[in-house]
Chains A and B, each alone.
Chain A
Amino acid sequence: MKRVVEVLKEKFGNRIQGSHQETVRELQIKIAKEVVIPAARFLVETLEMRFLFLFGSDARNISGCFHLHYVFSYHHVDQFIILIVEVRGEDLTFPSLAPYLPQANWQEREIQDLFGLIAKGHPDPRRLVLHEDWPEGLYPFRKDFIQNKKVPRVNGEYVFDRVEGDGVFEIPVGPVHAGIIEPGHFRFSSAGESILKLEIRHFYTHKGTEKLGEGKDSSHLLCLAERISGDNSVAHATAAAQALETLCGFQIPPRAQFLRVVLLELERIYNHLADVGGVVLDVAFGFGAAQLARVKEQLMRLNERLTGSRLLRGMIVFGGVRNDISDLDKKYLIQEIGKIKVDFDQTIQILWNVSSLMDRIQKTGIIKKEIVEALGGTGPIARASGVDRDFRRDHPYAAYQELLFMVPVFREGDVESRIKVKMQEVYESFKLIYEAVTGMPEGISIVETVPLKPLRSALGYVESPRGECFHWIATDRDGRIARWKIQSPSFANWPLIEYAVLENIVPDFPVINKSMNLSYSGNDR
């Protein structure tokens, strides 16, 4: 990594204002605002690093300025690079990365809305997080904004992108849907059944979770983390806990690492099963959907038996795993997993023989590999389009480097591929749980926690069922949490749906949406 810094210093000279290894895997480089774009492009294009996300923070009471962080990953050596830019004084603008790396589009708009910094040259500077009824000039994530103050609403207007032409009309769907699903708005432009264009608009359930976490202690933080996206509780909590543990610089016991793997994989299984069931339901194959829902229910009951919570909540704590599992529980777990596997096998066999079902899901909702890479797609959606990425393998955490598993990748990028990826991952998860349970080392499952070190920061990351999930935590002088950044996989993946629906007809939209199964709450935070 020192080599990287040298190369950058060669290229950009004194614009590189300093660097230091914040944690074992994170290299922080301070860089001037003017060269951040060329530097970022250099890292991505020449050094073949991967841009992950960018975010802002209000550090005015620490260093008198706003900070922008650009996070890159270098999976060959399992390292991360964070470029830090200061935005100081009166000039609150920063050069926009979106024209070069489209995946930065939403992230920069979020910074604009929440911090009031302005991305110069952004192709689409409309509001993203805050809706048109939020007054101008109020930036909720700044330190001087009081969270529980009542904000007067204004009348504003949000202009949707329309397709012009005779005979073209718009189809607005949501935020209130006819089924019990989360709120989100979809604006189609269509001249009949084919979709010409889709624009989505979310953030109806923006709760300001990141700001809520500021100043909280670790158990409260993890409680909040579990509720970012209800069905990814374990993943988010693990990422946050790992961030805290890396920040304090200690390792949790090996048994805890294995237990975390078991919990993460249990969560992955029930999520993927529900996803497949959801897709089958949306093509009106009630039988398949009902059987998969039944299997999912068995899993939820297993979760409750093991941990006391159907959604596996309350298990991940700072320092390990709260409750150990007994030998009796381990045997029960292996047995149940075996039964569920047989059931799942049978149902899948039936599903694959229903030709009307297969006809619906083949060649529907194709996302091309280039689009996934351009927009930074992640998780099973990316793997279904040929992008071979999995943080469990590329940047192993918990006990993954000691376990053997395959990462399924398909190339077509349609609904069927996404289902197949999820199904294969379920089988791999069955294997992982078995390995983890049988190979679990003895020992304690939790260590005593220590107070957080002041003025430190760390990145925690987990491959959640939906994709890569990052938590970045920074502490202030008193060791309290100063900034908590959550990069959820749904936030990265939602823009993909605008491209998945092109060249499909309107009635196929629910299947496509369900095959991606992105979380609205996870996106909105």
Chain B
Amino acid sequence: MNPIPSVLQVLLVVTVAPSVSWWIKKIKASSQNRVGPTLLQVYSDLGKLFRKGMVISNQASWIFHVMPYILFSAVLVAASMVPIFFKGSLLGFSGDAILFVYLLVLGRFFMALAALDTGTTFGGMGSSREMTLSSLAEPALLLSFFALAYHAGTLSIEGMVSHFGSQSPLQILFFGSLAFGAMLIITLAESGRIPIDNPATHLELTMIHEAMILEYSGRYLALIEWGHQIKQFLFLSLLVNIFFPWGLAEPGAGAALFLGSLFFLIKIFSLAFVIGWIEVHTAKLRLFRVPDLLAIAFVLAVVSLLGQLMIGQ
């Protein structure tokens, strides 16, 4: 199999990911009677961060320096396991959904450590909250994957996408929508969006994700922000390609590849619109209400699994 399209796919993901953040910002701005940033703004922000020098705490150890690279790399390897613009992926053969989830855990583990490295309170605060909430989100995410794997007969993400691409929507409507609901909540949690976390806040005491990276600047911060945007894009891709896979091209299909990618982007931006809509319409939940929300995601995944078993497969 030709690896070139798969490599290009990864590069394309890396390039396109910030634009989804831009789109969500635009949606929020228009609900607030504002114009919002231009598309170029998101990229120029990243570029500016890359060019700036860094100020590093005198308490930081090598973990602080190493974390952005590990985080970005873990997200990249995870990205190369997911079929995004077409039904293949670079490293999909070497692992499955479980590896995907744990690669993200790898990144988060080091981010939490780097937050504790500088010896500030805010770092510990962000680290503690993030690890707590993610330990509640992970079982829901994996159980959704397991529910999907039960239907698809495989844990591999490529396999799941191919399988659901060949199903008619009505067949899988019931359990699919439940699993979609669960994964949508998890996507909100993993991308750090309202109602779980506010990405645009300046209040240090309320931050979860931002509090962990308060001490970062310059290119490290750029890598972290970009990695976060890619992670958000990956989750949206998973939602789109598993639950709305129609129109996704086969690998090596030539012109159909181009059309398929375009259609995929339209789907992504529509889903991002939904995310933006949710952000506009809710306030941030009180910290100890978030476990309730994540428990709802878990229950949805359980019911999705149960539904399949009842209906008989």
Contact = CB atoms under 8 A, between A and B. Distances in A.
Indicate, yes or no, whether A interacts with B: yes
Interface of A: 169-173, 177-179, 192-193, 280, 282-287, 289-291, 294, 354, 356-357, 359-360, 505-510
A294 B286 CA distance: 27
Interface in B194-213: 194-195, 198, 200-206
A505 B287 contact: yes
Interface stretch (B25-33, B52-60, B81-89, B93-101): B25-33
Given A178-B202, A510-B203, A284 B283 contact: yes
Contacts, number: 82
Contacts of B299: none
Contact of B203 (A178, A285, A287): A178
B125 A506 contact: yes
Given A291-B33, A356-B283, 18 more contacts: A171-B125, A171-B205, A173-B205, A178-B204, A193-B288, A280-B283, A284-B200, A284-B201, A284-B283, A286-B279, A286-B280, A287-B281, A289-B32, A505-B286, A507-B287, A508-B286, A510-B203, A510-B206
A356 B284 contact: yes
Interface residues of B, number: 29
A285 B202 contact: no
B286 A170 contact: no
A193 B126 CA distance: 11
A359 B285 contact: yes
Given A169-B121, A284-B201, A290 B32 contact: yes
A356 B196 CA distance: 11
B276 to A, nearest CB: 11
Nearest to A289: B32
A357 B33 CA distance: 20
20 contacts: A172-B121, A177-B204, A178-B202, A178-B203, A280-B283, A282-B203, A283-B283, A284-B198, A284-B201, A286-B28, A287-B32, A289-B32, A290-B31, A290-B34, A291-B32, A354-B283, A359-B289, A507-B205, A507-B287, A510-B206
A510 B205 contact: yes
B166 interface: no
Contacts of B285: 356, 359-360
B283 A509 contact: no
A81 B125 CA distance: 50
B31 A287 contact: yes
B287 A286 contact: no
A508 B285 CA distance: 10
Interface in B203-231: 203-206
A289 B53 CA distance: 35
Contact of A360 (B200, B204, B280, B283): B283
Contacts of B288: 193, 505
Contact of A193 (B31, B204, B287): B287
B310 to A, nearest CB: 32
Interface string B154-198: 000000000000000000000000000000000000000011001
A356 B121 contact: no
